[in-house]
Amino acid sequence: MDIKINAYAKINLKLKVLGDLPGGYHELYNHMQAVGLCDRVYIDYHDMGAVSAKEAEGYRPRVILHPGKPYLPRDERNLAWKAAELMHRRFHPDRREKFFISVEKNIPVAAGLAGGSADGAAVLTGLARLWGLIPGYGEGPETANADQPGAEVSAADRSEAAAGSPERPSLQQLEPLIELAKELGSDVPFSLLAQNGYPAAVGTGRGTELELVTSESYKVLIYTPNFPLSTKAVYGELKDGDASEFNDLEPPAKRLSPEIEAVMELMKGIGTPLRTQLSGSGPSVFNLYSNKGPCPSLKEVKAALANREGNIYLGETLE
Ligand code: C5P
């Protein structure tokens, strides 16, 4: 059985650090919004029968991961790999299973866009759909079980699937998956919601206690400079009194990478943005534009950034 999931990136419309939490974490008010930029995560799942009594102790499923970039880990250090193991342990501990996972990586890595979290969440979502735990909201025809005998998909079924399932899972159905997502990382629960038809939320506590909010409709330009910034390092650099109108992580991120200041100044001059912000712990910087007004062209953006290296995304928030 195979399935494809769109794993959306997020931007932080507002990120306020409210205090310290145990375990080196920080208490947040974190307004997250998904955007159209996404990785595509393909899962090919094989059930090979029940685990024998002999095998039962210490059995681990086979996970074969192509992470999409040569420098990304292909083992348990990758959230997509971890997610498959978690799903096996939680829902199918007595099955012999093989997971082939392949990621088409479009979201820049270590960029403040929750790309790794999105891939981990996509494995939770994909397996939950394959196992019938949640409906396949927004699924396309690629999700047809082509390798299952007798699972021939009719033309009518195909066109219905192509239109996407109108039914999104309820929050109650997603709850067990959200619990697993929390084990993977602070941004993973939101990524899971975004993949299942809930593209905006405010996270409190560690950022994982989610309250849905109405999605805000903007045109978006995201520029990710060519240097990574570690989330842990940025939080580690945070000092008392660090604050910014939209994202309190801006001061520590700028201290670690002074280049961000220059990037933000350049970004402010591209078209007439409503505002220019750092996303998460950076180094991605984004501009929001009115969804009714003009948006700069790729050519204009490249010229304004003086052909700096990095990744440019021009698109929209997800609704
Ligand atoms: O939860 P996750 O593993 O994604 O977090 C990565 C790092 O980001 C943590 O180790 C911590 O340093 C920092 N963090 C934090 N407070 C949060 C979320 C993350 O300090 N609420």
Average of per-residue pLDDT across 77-97: 97
Overall average pLDDT of the 92-120 stretch: 97
> Using CA atoms, how far apart are residues 185 and 233, in angstroms rounded to an integer?
16
Token look-up 């499923």 returns 61
Q: What is the 3-state secondary structure (H, E, C) of the chain?
A: CEEEEEEEEEEEEEEEEEEECHHHCEEEEEEEEEEEEEEEEEEEEEEEEECCHHHHCCCCCEEEEECCCCCCCCCCCCHHHHHHHHHHHHHCCCEEEEEEEEEECCCCCCCCCCHHHHHHHHHHHHHHHHCCCCCCECCCHHHCCCCCCCCCCCHHHHHHHHHCECCCCCHHHHHHHHHHHHHHCCCHHHHHHHHCCCCEEEEECCCCEEEECCCCCEEEEEEEECCCCCHHHHHHHCCCCCCCCCECCHHHHHHHCCHHHHHHHHHHCCCCCCEEEECCCCCCEEEEEECCCCCCCHHHHHHHCCCCCEEEEEEEECC
Q: Of all protein residues, whose CA lies closest to atom 21 belonging to ligand 1?
A: 206
Using one digit for the tens of pLDDT, what is the confidence trace for 136-178? 887 654 433 433 333 334 444 444 444 566 789 999 999 999 9
Q: Which of 36-40, 159-163, 193-197 has the lowest mean pLDDT?
A: 159-163
pLDDT score recorded for residue 148: 36
Question: Which residues are within 8 A (CB) of 76 and not within 5 positions of it... i.e. 6 or more apart?
Answer: 82, 85
Please tell me the distance between residue 296's alpha carbon and the centre of ligand 1 in angstroms. Answer: 34
- For the entire predicted model, the pTM comes to 0.92
Distance of alpha carbon 221 from alpha carbon 187, whole angstroms: 21
pLDDT tens readout for residues 237-276: 999 999 999 999 999 999 999 999 999 999 999 999 999 9
76-80, 117-121, 153-157: lowest mean pLDDT where?
A: 153-157
Q: For ligand 1, which residues put their CB under 6 angstroms from it?
A: 24-26, 28, 185-187, 206-207, 231-232, 235
CA of 186 to the centre of ligand 1 (A): 6
**Distance from residue 101's CA to the centre of ligand 1 (Å):** 26
What domains, with CATH codes, occur in the chain? 2-212 (3.30.230.10), 218-316 (3.30.70.890)
Percentage with pLDDT > 90 across the chain: 87
For residue 314, CA distances in Å to 35, 40, 204, 208, 261 come to 10, 18, 29, 28, 21
pLDDT at 28: 98
Residue nearest to atom 13 of ligand 1 (CA): 232
Confidence of residue 53 (pLDDT cuts 50, 70, 90): confident
Distance from residue 228's CA to the centre of ligand 1 (Å) = 16
pLDDT over 70 (residue 48): yes
Q: Measuring CA to CA, which residue among 229, 270, 222 is closest to residue 250?
A: 229
CB contact set of 85 (below 8 Å; sequence gap of 6+): 60, 61, 63, 76
